[in-house]
Amino acid sequence: MPVSHHTLVVLSLASACCRGEPALPRPAELGPAPTLTSLPPTAMSSARALHGTGEPAMAVDITDREAVRRFHLAVYGASEGHDMGWTGDINSCDPGTTALDYQAAVIRRVNYYRALVGVPADVTLDSTHHAEVQSTAFIMSRNSIIAHDLPDDAICYTAEGDAAAGKSNLAIGAAGPEAIDGYMADWGINNRAVGHRRWLIVPQQESLATGDVPDVSGVESYARANAVYVIGDGLWDPRPAVRDEFVAWPPPGYVPYSVMPVRWSLSYPEADFESASVTVTLGGVPQSIVVEPLAYYQGENSIVWYLASLDPSAGYSWPQPASDTVYSVTVSNVVIAGSPRSFSYQVKVFDPYVPGPDAAAAELAGPDSVPVGSPTTYGLSPLGDVTTFEWIEGAASLLTAVEGADTDLGPFVADITPGYDPRAQKPKFQYSKCYLLTHVAPVPGDEYLTHSGTLLPGAGAALNFECRVSNATEWQEGQVQVSLDDGTSWETLYRRTGWYDEENDFWGDLWFNPVTVSLAAYEGRLIRVRFVYHYIAGNGHSYYPWNPDLTWHNGIGFYIEDVAFENVQLLGEVISHETDASTGVVFTPPVAGSYALAARGLLFGEYPLEWGPARLVTAAGEAPLSVSFDGVPSVAAGTFKATIRLSRSQPGATILVERASSAGGAWATDGQAIVTTLESGLRYQVSAPASGGAGFLRVRVP
């Protein structure tokens, strides 16, 4: 590997340091998976009618591409981006705890996979074992070890953490939902039996506890870690009904390529796979495969294989398909209850960001011009079996500002690893600032700079900016991403990857580069936009870590400057409502102006789908004048007093105070009432006798 002579970086492993070379982070490591010492006291085979706690289970029609696409974008995306909320402390051996919202996101990711696989997807959060697995994850991180039998002399050792390690899936260098992805992929030489996966998708699994620790940087650095308690009492229950009789990952049907594992598996309780064979064809052409050695006492009996063209030591490295790709699988001579069986099915790998011909989003039908202050109903198109919808309204105005971080972050929100300032000195410009995203040792994670606004692109819309990726290897990548579902899921539109500049003997860019990213494909759709500095994880994938003392004039990381949008509207205050298809959308504009309206379905009544096409609506005229109390009216010493406010300023307004014997009776002017002006045309004080004569008072503006 060529080495720059213009940079100095610190190796993030151990305490070694070297000049001019990128660092090698500690990669995410798994397991091996926990095992039982023998078969359970009752075999995992017989059927039962009920499963879990009775909570509604997630389900998805795996044969329906659009259903799987929606499910992936909504449910997988809903377990991303949650704050761990860790309360522990490395120095005092305090494992702490994590936010319940974060723990729920981990379980949501498990149920996402279980629904695709076709086993009951109603696993709940086990709080009973949380403290134990939290200690397990903490001990692993603190000692940079991963083991199901933790050494007694480990720093911060606890017997509870040690015991839980023997019953848990374990990862270091990964935490939370990311660790669940790792367990389902089950890469590495230790995981040829995909035991982590088998424990997560065993049909009997009812509840799981998760323990998580973040990356901790300081005088010494510690990698994030995860432990999921998987061997619980529910495993001895009878096996519930499953969708396909067997349990396969990837399963029969549509599977997003981004979660496709290299190792494939098929499980069946008490099956004998000793003489089984596997064939895989693509377009009728047999594919070369490798069958892994059989292993038992890890969930249900299973056979594991992979395509010889792919590397099982990697994680999720499935290539992005140019079009939907169909693999035909046959597993033959599986002996079940003494008889040979064969299972045949198809796995259809697809890109969930490429809508199919049956893709649909919630659409509104109604007028483009409406009167101010009057309710207008818009029809809402049906969306499969989705019954609950969210709709929003917001004033829209053309976005013209150019952002450069000279004074503050402007409309951007930084979600970064502590240790650097996202407002950095612009390389080669001593007195100018720009945005910066960079990777921090010991484990480089994705760094985000997100525009806080809800944006509406018009015809020919674009994002313009300048950027440079400096002191960056080919595994470090600046990106622009767009979300159609308010940040639940993101699509990458632009990539700038580190590279070696032979002429200047330098890794990455020496100068800023002008960039234009077209947003024309999102015309009429509500979007969010963010910049990302992404590390492409993998064995041997080096990176340049942030070091404030060694940036010099060339910088380290993804630098962004002069961000501007072209023909994009920005929504002001966004007001959200919930509705259903039969009710539709009822919009009442408060003042004249341009508004954007849009709706989206909520999968399972909870997980947002993509926003449908937005409607730009013009509200004209003035809202009807109305009167309201400003504060609480009072009655004292026989006198009624109240302060009233007009809904809008009305210079020279006439305030009438009237009486009637009943609310529906004949109203007459109260000659004894006194009206005092507090703010001309806006606020007034009214007083009138509280007794004598008719018993009802009203105030109006004719």
Lowest-pLDDT range of 83-92, 166-175, 213-222, 417-426? 213-222
The sign of the dihedral angle between the CA atoms of 460, 461, 466, 469 is negative
pLDDT computed for residue 276 by the predictor: 98
pLDDT computed for residue 692 by the predictor: 57
pLDDT computed for residue 41 by the predictor: 43
- Tell how strand 339-350 and strand 253-256 pair up: parallel
Cβ-contact 15, 205 below 8 angstroms: no
Please report the DSSP string for 587-608 in residue order: E--SSSEEEEEEEEEEETTTEE
d(CA 338, CA 519) in angstroms, rounded, equals 60
Average pLDDT, the chain: 89
Q: What is the pLDDT of residues 515-527, one digit of tens each?
A: 999 999 999 999 9
The DSSP H or E segment spanning 101 is helix 100-117
Q: What is the pLDDT of residues 218-258, one digit of tens each?
A: 768 898 999 999 998 788 889 999 999 999 999 999 999 99
pLDDT band at 27 (very low <50, low <70, confident <90, very high): low
What percent of the chain has a predicted confidence (pLDDT) above 90?
67
d(CA 201, CA 40) in angstroms, rounded, equals 17
Please report the DSSP string for 238-287 in residue order: PPPP-SBSBEEESPSEEEEGGG--SEEEEE-TT-B-TT-EEEEEETTEEP
d(CA 347, CA 326) in angstroms, rounded, equals 6
Residue with tokens 């035909």: 328
Lowest-pLDDT range of 14-28, 301-315, 494-508? 14-28
Q: Is the pLDDT of residue 51 over 80?
A: no
Who contacts 159 (Cβ-Cβ below 8 Å, separation ≥6)? none
Query: Phi/psi class of residue 356: alpha, beta or left (left: φ > 0; alpha: ψ in -120 to 50)?
Result: beta
Q: What is the pLDDT of residues 381-395, one digit of tens each?
A: 988 889 899 999 999
pLDDT computed for residue 504 by the predictor: 83
pLDDT band at 133 (very low <50, low <70, confident <90, very high): very high
Cβ-contact 135, 217 below 8 angstroms: no
Q: What is the pLDDT of residues 641-680, one digit of tens each?
A: 999 998 878 888 888 988 888 877 788 898 889 999 998 8
Q: Is the pLDDT of residue 101 over 90?
A: yes
pLDDT computed for residue 438 by the predictor: 96
Residues 131-160 have a mean pLDDT of 97
Tokens linked to 219: 């005088």
SS3 state of residue 145 = coil
Q: 57 or 46: which carries more pLDDT confidence? A: 57
Omega of the bond leading into 293 within 30 degrees of 0 (cis):
no
Q: Is the pLDDT of residue 263 over 60?
A: yes
d(CA 333, CA 342) in angstroms, rounded, equals 6
pLDDT band at 425 (very low <50, low <70, confident <90, very high): confident
Instruction: Give phi and psi for 567, each to the nearest 5.
Output: 55, 50
Residues 615-638 have a mean pLDDT of 87
d(CA 174, CA 605) in angstroms, rounded, equals 31
Please report the DSSP string for 465-486 in residue order: EEEEEES--TTEEEEEEEESST
Give all strands (DSSP E) within 258-400, no chain letters.
263-267, 277-282, 285-286, 289-291, 302-307, 325-336, 339-350, 364-365, 369-371, 376-380, 388-398
What pTM did the predictor assign? 0.82
Q: 448 or 501: which carries more pLDDT confidence? A: 448
Who contacts 599 (Cβ-Cβ below 8 Å, separation ≥6)? 362, 363, 364, 380, 389, 390, 391, 392, 579, 585, 611, 612
Give all strands (DSSP E) within 491-592, no chain letters.
491-497, 500-501, 506-507, 513-518, 528-535, 557-571, 575-580, 585-587
